[in-house]
Copies of this chain bind each other. A is one copy, B any other.
Amino acid sequence: MTDMTMPQMTMNDAISAALAEEMRRDATVLMFGEGVATKRPDLVAEFGGARVRNTPLAEGIIAGTAAGAAATGLRPVIDLLFAPFLCYAMDEIVNSAGKLRYLSGGQFAFPMVVLAGTGGGWGVGAQHNHNVEAWFVHSPGLKVVMPSTPADAKGLLKAAIRDDNPVMFFTDLALGYAPGPVEEGDAVLPLGRAAVRREGADVTLVAYAKSVGTCLEAATRLAERGVQAEVVDLRSLKPLDEETILRSARKTGRVVVVHEASRLCGIGAEVAAIVAEKAFGQLRAPVLRLTGPDAPAASSFPLEAAFAPQPDAVVEAVLRSVGSPAARPVELPAELPVPA
């Protein structure tokens, strides 16, 4: 179980491995999308052209086909490439896959997975880079996943494929090529469980995808200044692991949520609202959000890089939180370090 003994794999490779393993395990799993067969010749070779298909360039019918197939015996995985392209498939995902189980009184299930990449790192601009995961968290009947490590990507994708509900599986484009340890074999990671990436008593940093790394980096710097940050990686955005969030929030009394997606009605808002309701009594400072701005992402590299919150900003926010003369003074525990 230690990282050293495990094979290293990129997130992209972990996803490929999960796909291959699940297709091997279950003959009803199939995959299609624009260029899927071209880009995954290994899967075509092993499973044949019927189960790994290129499609016409039309996200709506790709998603609708997945929903129709899912309800009638197949378990499709579709690759819609970049998150903004989901805009063409909203009816099929939200109105059909998300609602027709309910509206039919439970007659159908939609075991399907929608892959989409998102986030900065490629300089491609807002029509390829727009973090819209919150839309799907807001919509009923869907589950939403966004991993930060190759191991999680593999385990969560396997769980998503086995789940009987439509799962939106977002990959952060900035993380695709970074290697990480991935356990061999059939490690399925249940949806809905956050991971505490680092323990700490002074402040809880809640994040997902690339922002987990940002928070870990910030936590390292904070530790140098005597502040122990706990880093919670949500992994599943829906179901959301309220318990882990609240356990940490109640312990530290200070919460900063960090993500690349825009602020308004984002995941950070949801986490802040949960904390403000359910950990209110234990809070010692305002709940802070560090997020992308209410703006489209630019292509220009420096602007793109500035879009997502950076470690410096997290450090600064935490120090503000820890050191702020609380409007409503609270008893600081004796051991709480004062920032330098």
* Residues of A near any B CB (own CB < 8 A): 84, 86-88, 90-91, 94-95, 98-99, 102-103, 125-127, 130, 132, 134-135, 137-141, 238, 240, 261-262, 264-270, 272-273, 275-278, 280-283, 285-289, 293-296, 298-299, 326-328
Find chain B residues with CB under 8 A from A293 CB.
Answer: 140
Find chain B residues with CB under 8 A from A262 CB.
Answer: 138-140
Find chain B residues with CB under 8 A from A286 CB.
Answer: 276-278, 280-281
State the CA gap A86–B95 with chains docked (Å).
10
State the CA gap A295–B140 with chains docked (Å).
5
A332 to chain B, nearest CB (A): 14
| Contact between chains at A287 and B277 (CB < 8 Å) | yes
- The residue that A126 contacts in the complex, of B99, B270, B328, with Cβ under 8 A, is B99
A283 to chain B, nearest CB (A): 7
| Contact between chains at B87 and A95 (CB < 8 Å) | yes
- The residue that A141 contacts in the complex, of B275, B283, B296, with Cβ under 8 A, is B296
Copy tally for this chain in the complex stands at: 2
A256 to chain B, nearest CB (A): 10
| Contact between chains at B88 and A84 (CB < 8 Å) | no
- The residue that A140 contacts in the complex, of B95, B267, B294, with Cβ under 8 A, is B294
- The residue that A269 contacts in the complex, of B91, B238, B265, B326, with Cβ under 8 A, is B265
Sample of 14 more A-B contacts, CB < 8 Å, known A272-B276, A273-B276: A84-B91, A134-B134, A135-B138, A138-B261, A138-B265, A140-B293, A265-B265, A269-B273, A273-B289, A276-B286, A280-B328, A281-B286, A281-B326, A282-B328
A215 to chain B, nearest CB (A): 18
Find chain B residues with CB under 8 A from A266 CB.
Answer: 138, 265
- 13 A–B contacts, CB within 8 A, in A order: A102-B295, A102-B298, A138-B261, A140-B295, A238-B264, A265-B267, A272-B272, A273-B273, A273-B289, A280-B287, A282-B327, A282-B328, A283-B328
State the CA gap A237–B275 with chains docked (Å).
22
State the CA gap A127–B98 with chains docked (Å).
10
- The residue that A273 contacts in the complex, of B132, B285, B287, with Cβ under 8 A, is B287
Find chain B residues with CB under 8 A from A277 CB.
Answer: 272, 286-289
| Contact between chains at B269 and A240 (CB < 8 Å) | no
State the CA gap A132–B91 with chains docked (Å).
12
State the CA gap A93–B274 with chains docked (Å).
30
| Contact between chains at B132 and A296 (CB < 8 Å) | no
| Contact between chains at B138 and A95 (CB < 8 Å) | no
Find chain B residues with CB under 8 A from A275 CB.
Answer: 276
Contacts A102-B296, A296-B141 known; A285 to B276 CB distance under 8 Å? Answer: no
